[in-house]
Amino acid sequence: MPLKIGSLIDSRYRITARIGHGGMAEVYEANDMINRRTVAIKLIREDVMNNPVNLVRFKNEATIAASLNHPNIVKVFNHGTVDGVPYIANEYIKGQNLKEVLDFRSSLPIEEAMDYMIQLASALSYAHKHGIVHRDVKPDNLYVMGDGTIKLGDFGIAQSEQKKENHDVESEIVGSVHYMAPEITAGKSATAQSDIYSAGVTFYELITGHVPFNKEKAVDIAVAHIKERFPSPKIYLPNCPKEVEHIIFKCVKKNLKERYQNADELYNDLIDLKNNPNAFKEKKGIFSRIFGFK
C-alpha cells in the first residue's frame, strides 16, 4: 500500500517524499506536525507482512528500538498502523550506511575506522546494559551522518533478554553469515559477546575492504567462522599496527573466555589506542633507521 505524497498519518505525520525501500519496508520522509521535525516513516511492505515471522520482526524493531535513547543509535519516536499496516517513525538519517561508503571508497583509513568503532562500542555498551542484543551488527546497519557521527539501526532481529523465552523467532539462526559469531552458527543463543564478534568483523572490513571469509556458499562461510583461523588484516593491509590487529583478534576469539567480555572493554582499548599517537606512525626497518632508506 504505497503512501501518497501529502497524505497524513495518524493526524501527525505529513508524507513529503518517498526515500526508497528495503527488504522489509518502504521508507518515506515526513514532517512531524506536532514536534516540528523531519522523520522517516518505515511502512512494512504488504508482501512481506504476509509472513508472520516478518511481522514479528518489524514489531520487534518498533518496541525494542523505541526503548533505547543513545546518540549512536537510530531513535524510534513512535509506531502504529496505517489501514492495518504497521509503520515506524524513525529519526531521519541523511547520509549513507558504511557498506555504501565502502562500496565507493573500498576501505577506510585506520583512524577514521577507529572513530566509527569507538561510537559503535558505545552504542553496543548502552544496548547491552539495557538487556538488548542487536544480532545483526554490520556496515549495512551503521549510518554515517554529515558530521561523522554514526548510528546503529535496524533492530528487527534484536533480542531482549527479558523476553527471550517468549520470542517467536528465537529458535531460528538469524543474522548475516559474514558477520555471525561461531556460537550462533553452532545453534547457541546470541549474547553481548556475539555482537562484539560482529563488531570485530566490521572493523576488519572497514580497514581492509574485505570480509574475513568470502566463500560461494553461506554454509561454507559459517563453517569457516567456526573452524578456520581468523585471517590477519595484514594480508590486505601490511602496515596495519599490531595494536589494531590485537583488538580485532580479541573481538573474534572463538573461545568466549578469550573474547572481550563486554563492549566497555572494547571501548576502553579503542580509546587507549586513539590516545597513543605513536601507534599510527610508520614503522621503519633497521636499515631505514641506520642509513635513512625509505
**Catalytic residue annotation:** 136
State whether the Cα torsion 68-73-77-79 is positive or negative. negative
The 3-state DSSP composition of the chain as helix, strand, coil percent (nearest 5) reads 45, 20, 40
**Whether 190 contacts 164, CB under 8 Å:** no
Reading the block at residue 16, the C-alpha cell is: 513529503
CA 10 centroid distance within chain:
30
Cell triple for 138: 554490520
Which residues does 224 contact at the CB level (< 8 Å), separation at least 6? 212, 213, 215
The whole-angstrom separation of Cα 223 and Cα 208 is: 22
What's phi and psi for 217, nearest 5 deg?
-100, 140
Integer Cα distance of 13 and 32 in angstroms? 5
Handedness of CA 14, 15, 21, 24 (dihedral sign): positive
40 φ, ψ to 5°? Answer: -110, 125
Q: Say how far residue 123 (Cα) sits from the centre of its chain.
A: 10
Q: What backbone phi and psi angles, to 5 degrees, belong to 90?
A: -100, 160
